[in-house]
Amino acid sequence: MPGLPLFFELPIVNADKPLLDRPEILHRLAQFRGKQRVLLTRSPLFVGKSALFPGSVFVVGFDTAYRLLAARYYGGDAQRDAALGQIASHGCRFIVAGRLTDGQFRRLADLELPSAFGDLFVDLPDFRCDISSTALRGGE
């Protein structure tokens, strides 16, 4: 997506993890200092992120895309589909990078996409980096 501005997002609130405290936020921000722009949010789900950043293309790993499609985060399939519809109405899309998950490299083709929303997702071909964000931060 040439020509689009690049931002990293650091969610202080995550649907699966504890709230980040100030020292951890500062630690994570330090890796970007002088290199990249970072947006701090309190939006744990992409339906909220899409409202904050309409027209955005989010780059996510397979594991995040898997959770994004999991009905349990929304209260059921119908609510998930409504959320995906809101994301689409905000003009947002997702580029999905493959990730090593449970000992297997998985990519977009391994996800069950709701047929009405398949065009929201694009595969990031020829990319592989088998290191977690925790390991990148020096936590493993």
pLDDT digits (tens, 9 = 90+) for 76-86: 999 999 999 99
Kindly state whether residues 88 and 51 are assigned to the same domain. Answer: yes
Judge whether 138 lies within some domain: no
Kindly state whether residues 29 and 69 are assigned to the same domain. Answer: no
Full residue range of the structural domain in which residue 6 is found = 1-43
Domain count, the chain: 2
Kindly state whether residues 16 and 51 are assigned to the same domain. Answer: no
Kindly state whether residues 28 and 77 are assigned to the same domain. Answer: no
- Run of H or E residues at 93: strand 93-97
Residue with tokens 């209260």: 75
Nearest to 65 by CA among 7, 11, 106: 106
> How many Cβ atoms from other residues are within 10 Å of residue 116's Cβ?
11
What is the pLDDT, as a whole number, of residue 96?
Answer: 95
What is the pLDDT, as a whole number, of residue 136?
Answer: 64
What is the pLDDT, as a whole number, of residue 14?
Answer: 86
Residues of the chain with pLDDT under 70: 1-2, 132-134, 136-140
Kindly state whether residues 37 and 78 are assigned to the same domain. Answer: no
